[in-house]
Structure 1
Amino acid sequence: MALTAIIEEHGGPERFKLVERDVGAPGPGEVRIAHKAVGLNFIDVYQRTGLYPMELPHAMGMEAAGVIEAVGEGVTHLKEGDRAAYASNPPGAYAEARVMPAAQVCPLPEGISFEEGAAMMLKGMTVEYLFHRTTPLKSGDTVLFHAAAGGVGLLACQWARSEGITLIGTAGSDEKCQLALDHGAAHCINYRSGDWAATVRELTDGKGVDVVMDAVGKDTFDGSLSSLRPLGMMISFGNASGPVPPLDIGILGKKGSLKITRPTLFTHIADHETCQAMARHLAEKVLSGDVKITIGQRFALRDVAKAHEALEARKTTGSTILEI
């Protein structure tokens, strides 16, 4: 039996229910993993509220690290006793243990702790695809990154610095801006203090940035488009402030023949080999010291509702984990 956080209907953090569930044995292509730490992400909020609807009741959570307890038939990249971490569908990581598909579960090197593993997989592989699999980026390019002091943002600041890319961040306070700067952002703008899009233009001598990486959504979308240089790329990869309203595609032409994409991590990691390669690339960045995993908050599994309240109120910095 394993303590597991589930929801039976969509809504606020109060919808979480803690239950004991039978874990069972892994079937073909599956593993059973005993979690040591679990990561929290905004996609968890989207699923809980129903923005991303799920068939209910359902266990929650997309990211964790732990020890493989058993492997099913056909699983060759993991064995019993291995350290492992993942970001993966279906949800179910908010649990002491689970059985799940093995394809997106990745070996966790000895030099990376379980807490770091739980905090880095979804966010770190997101940064990996943003910088390496979405649009060509090279040393000297300029990126605008919103929520630069969040879990994904602090990894992006470091990743950009390690690749010679100038990252302009935005954040909601001077303290959060300083955190982004400390992690490698070249500049960080407190979006509460004025017209941040105009400041981006000033910082780029009126040219605009090559790429915008925007997980905030509705509140930043128009300003993001206005911050791009002609032929620039807008990567909209989240909806923390709400979904982006329908777009008149003609605005892209008016603002300089802009490009726009709405990627998801789960498209990228659907292929087993691609997922494993992305995880290895991320681990290399962490083991080399180019990227350090910042865990800003820790909650007990039983306090998952409080963790979600903090996440939604934007009271978190870096990554948030549940301790098992």
Structure 2
Amino acid sequence: MKAVLLDAEDRYRVAELDEPAPGPGEVAVAVAYAGIQWGDVMVRDGRFPLPRPFVPGFEASGHITAVGEGVDPGRVGTPVSALTTGGACAEVVLASAVLALDTGGLPLRTAAGLGWGAPTAYDLINTVARVRPGESVLVHAAAGSVGTLAAQFARLAGAGRVVGVAGSPARAGYAAGFGYDRVVLREDFPAVLGGERFDAVLDPVGGATRRAALEQLAAHGRLAVFGALASFEPVPADPGDLLVNGRSLLTYNSDLLARTHPGRLADSARRALALVADGSVRVDITAEYGLEDLATAVRRLAGGATCGKSVLRIGRP
């Protein structure tokens, strides 16, 4: 089969590899599209210590072609959206059967756009920050895959005000189309908000942004941390100070959840998928690349040139 390999010199190349066979609890998926996400940037930059050469790609859509021991053989031929531990940038990828979700009639291109971002955004709003009707929400990285979905999930949860933060005027304009009441520029943040407080803040950025977010929480507000795009520097949070104002600092790690409670992650992914399928939520795929163009796709994502979701076209939809 054809697959993309990332070598020790951080170079991508298309190679011929043996097709993998599913083990117990796994399925093999003939990949139609692979989703491109921030994990691909972190792998390229060596922030995930994975052995090289490595077949990148953590999310895929396609049809199940084979199943391992313990998996219902009737699933062969089923269209799925699969969350993987790697290998999705190939003609065939292995995935846990639990995290290969039936997509029904949803187009496979759209299904690839769900990836890890859809359950992450769903959980941040509904199970981590637990947004209630009438509450205010601030979302950092508002123009990305998670940000655009989180704004929509916040609206469905009844949020009274949803504000986004984006890195450029173009990204702010793009994010504005997903239900935000206001999108501000990162260079103007937080001063431009004039001391506004929020019941929930979603932060994948870290560093100074995280420090500011703690100060922007209203009484009983929740800061949901789910990444460190800009900085891994420590951000002090005094439990005593948080307690006085009833504020909470919460974290969300979808990769860990997939390993410890995969059924919970799968349930959130199904709920998100259902909302996309019935038209309540929109997944916006803004760029499509061929297998040989993965380096370009990852570079554009890392450089902030990508809004919404990018996918890699691999097989037949």
Mapped partners of 1:64, 1:133: distance in 2: 25
DSSP 3-state at the match of 1:148: coil
Structure 1 alignment gaps of length 5 or more? none
1:279 aligns with 2:269: yes
Cα gap change, 1:120 to 1:252, in 2 (>3 Å)? farther
Answer yes or no: is the 8 Å Cα contact 2:35–2:112 preserved in 1: yes
Answer yes or no: is the 8 Å Cα contact 1:212–1:224 preserved in 2: yes
Aligned to 2:234: 246
Aligned to 2:156: 162
Answer yes or no: is the 8 Å Cα contact 2:87–2:94 preserved in 1: no
1:129 aligns with 2:118: no
Answer yes or no: is the 8 Å Cα contact 2:83–2:115 preserved in 1: yes
DSSP 3-state at the match of 1:52: coil
1:146 aligns with 2:117: no
User: Could you tell me which amino acid in structure 2 is paired with residue 185 of structure 1?
Assistant: Y
Aligned to 2:100: 105
DSSP 3-state at the match of 1:58: coil
Give the alignment's Cα RMSD to 1 decimal: 2.1
Mapped partners of 1:35, 1:161: distance in 2: 33
* Cα offset, 1:201, TM superposition: 4.2
Deviations 1:248-273 (A, max 9, x none): 33387179453212321123334343
Mapped partners of 1:225, 1:78: distance in 2: 49
TM-score by length of 2: 0.91
Aligned to 2:247: 258
DSSP 3-state at the match of 1:59: coil
Aligned to 2:292: 302
Aligned to 1:18: 14
Deviations 1:245-299 (A, max 9, x none): 1233338717945321232112333434323321220122112211111011111
Q: Indicate which of 197, 202, 213 corresponds to 2:190.
A: 197
Cα gap change, 1:318 to 1:252, in 2 (>3 Å)? farther
Answer yes or no: is the 8 Å Cα contact 2:114–2:273 preserved in 1: no
Aligned to 2:179: 184
Answer yes or no: is the 8 Å Cα contact 2:144–2:307 preserved in 1: yes
User: Could you tell me which amino acid in structure 1 is paired with residue 225 of structure 2?
Assistant: S
Answer yes or no: is the 8 Å Cα contact 2:13–2:292 preserved in 1: no
Answer yes or no: is the 8 Å Cα contact 1:3–1:20 preserved in 2: yes
Answer yes or no: is the 8 Å Cα contact 1:159–1:290 preserved in 2: no
User: Could you tell me which amino acid in structure 2 is paired with residue 53 of structure 1?
Assistant: P
TM-score by length of 1: 0.89
Aligned to 1:215: 204
Q: Indicate which of 38, 60, 64 corresponds to 2:60.
A: 64
Q: Which moved more, 1:50-59 or 1:31-40?
A: 50-59
Answer yes or no: is the 8 Å Cα contact 1:71–1:78 preserved in 2: no
Deviations 1:8-67 (A, max 9, x none): 32x6xx522322111143232221110000101111211221222223332211111001
Aligned to 1:228: 217
Deviations 1:168-206 (A, max 9, x none): 1011223322222221011111223x2x2233345x4xx
User: Could you tell me which amino acid in structure 1 is paired with residue 222 of structure 2?
Assistant: M
Aligned to 2:258: 269
Mapped partners of 1:175, 1:251: distance in 2: 38
Mapped partners of 2:293, 2:241: distance in 1: 48
Answer yes or no: is the 8 Å Cα contact 2:286–2:307 preserved in 1: yes
Aligned to 1:5: 4
DSSP 3-state at the match of 1:126: helix
Answer yes or no: is the 8 Å Cα contact 1:157–1:180 preserved in 2: no
Q: Which moved more, 1:275-284 or 1:307-316?
A: 275-284
DSSP 3-state at the match of 1:269: helix
Aligned runs of 1:20-35 on 2, under 5 Å?
Answer: 20-35=16-31
* Cα offset, 1:219, TM superposition: 4.8
DSSP 3-state at the match of 1:260: strand
* Cα offset, 1:76, TM superposition: 2.6
Mapped partners of 1:221, 1:83: distance in 2: 39
DSSP 3-state at the match of 1:93: coil
Mapped partners of 1:159, 1:77: distance in 2: 35
Q: Which moved more, 1:136-145 or 1:75-84?
A: 75-84
1:48 aligns with 2:44: yes
* Cα offset, 1:113, TM superposition: 1.0
Mapped partners of 1:274, 1:303: distance in 2: 34
DSSP 3-state at the match of 1:169: strand
